[in-house]
Structure 1
Amino acid sequence: MMMAAVRKSTNWFAIGITAAVVVVVLIVGGVVWFANSQATSPGTLPQSSSVNTDTGAIAVGTGEKTVDTYVDFMCPVCNSFEQAYGPTLQQLVDDGTITLNIHPIAILDRLSQGTQYSTRSANAAYCVAVDDPANVSAFVKEMYAQQPKENTSGLDDATLASIATTAGASDAVASCISDGTYTKFVTAMTQKTPVQPGQSGVATPTIAVNGTVLSNQNDLTGDPQKDIVARLDG
């Protein structure tokens, strides 16, 4: 007796469920990828001849040798560094010895009572650089002259805009500052700040001479001729 062949039926319901699950997984994966990419995206880039959008550096001067400063405008030690080293660095810029790369970063937002002052002030620096990089040095100098104390709300956006225009920027910077145009860029560049030798986290100011990161504790004595000029020559 010949046995009848068993006819296999296609389970379209199971296939449909499997396909739907695959689609859902792909959608969820896409949403997660998009959310992650948005979280790490640098956002609007500050398009200026003086800004390196890969490193966040705002270049002042055109010298062959380089000094990089990573600063938070809420940081009192950054202000002390500016007072001690600023004149020497400016002289090195003026005589064509160095390019001073200023990296405005934000690590002290927690000390501005929720106003995100470090991020807002760094954003303002990029607004000035995009408007006219020739005004960056004057802006930075005045920002330190009016530096708020830690654990205060910091300067408001209108004051930041006033400092910018006093430094020579156009009135257009006001909307750039109040809109927080480069806020995400500031966050992304802050994450790229190098760690000083002997430390486990980012500190400000962080200084690099010709690409070599210095230790505030061991390499900076307060004598710019010894700490900066000698290293440039060496």
Structure 2
Amino acid sequence: MAAAAKNRSVFAIVVSIIVVVAVVAVGIVVYLMNRQASEPATAPAAGVVNQETGAIEVGDGDQTVTEYIDFMCPICNPAHDAYNDTLSELITDGTITLQIHPMGMLDNQSQGTEYSSRSANAAYCVAEDNGDAFFPFMDLLFKNQPAEGTTGLDDDELVKYAEQAGAEGAASCITDGTYRDFVAEQLDAMPIMPGMQGRATPTMLVNDEFVSPQGGFDAQADIVANLD
């Protein structure tokens, strides 16, 4: 009787210890998950990426043109075509700093491949590898833009265009999705244009003031006229 009672007591103690250890282990896992979720994502370590805003910056002018784009967005393509030459001139003559925010907004429009986030990640990878390659890379993605609702470009194609633009060391960053978490954070921080019910691309600001194109995209009316 005494031996049986002793064995039951030892068993109860062992079970209690196991339960305590399990609870502590679960607590540690929950703590680490919460900590990881609350910590900011790693930003690209590149001089052309603004560490405060997340924008990829081209040029060094005192005035700013800020664009929020999605490489799957069908409206962003004609906007890029309409603005590209003027933006290039304003960058070259030192008038503006172009601030590009690549968004992962239309992931649900690429048949599960999340092309918007993958291409935005690729843009950051290119900017990190070679800042001078970013603007040509952006141009290549719009010139070869997949139709909305398709699978989009695959990672090998993104690497090909990155290398064509001059970012020869961006391949592993692109295929590993190194900055996908950072891209997700940028979407959460994207501003909403006044009068809109939600976020939309393209969204443009000139000198931090929202610009609403009227009757199509016109570089003189939308950009130049709003410069100081």
Report the TM-score when normalising by structure 2: 0.85
* CA–CA separation in structure 2 for the residues paired with 1:221 and 1:150: 20
1:222 aligns with: 217
1:41, 1:184 within 8 Å by CA — same for their partners in 2?
no
Match of 2:198 among 201, 204, 210: 201
Match of 1:52 among 40, 50, 53: 50
Amino acid at match of 1:55: T
2:211, 2:222 within 8 Å by CA — same for their partners in 1?
no
2:212, 2:222 within 8 Å by CA — same for their partners in 1?
no
Q: State the aligned residue count.
A: 210
Specify every segment of 5 or more residues in structure 2 that has no aligned partner in the other structure, as ranges: 1-15
1:41, 1:188 within 8 Å by CA — same for their partners in 2?
no
2:146 aligns with: 148
1:232 aligns with: 227
* CA–CA separation in structure 2 for the residues paired with 1:139 and 1:116: 19
Report the CA distance between 1:45 and its aligned residue: 1.7
* CA–CA separation in structure 2 for the residues paired with 1:43 and 1:189: 10
* CA–CA separation in structure 2 for the residues paired with 1:116 and 1:102: 20
Aligned-residue identity in percent: 51
Bigger Cα Rg: 1
Cα deviation per residue 1:136-180 (whole Å; 9 max; x = unaligned)?
Answer: 11000000011001111100000000000001111x211110000
1:69, 1:206 within 8 Å by CA — same for their partners in 2?
yes
Q: Is 1:212 paired with 2:221? A: no
CA pair 56-215 structure 1, distance change in 2 beyond 3 A: same
Cα deviation per residue 1:72-118 (whole Å; 9 max; x = unaligned)?
Answer: 00001111100111111111111100000011111100001111100
Report the CA distance between 1:42 and its aligned residue: 3.9
Report the TM-score when normalising by structure 1: 0.83
2:177 aligns with: 180
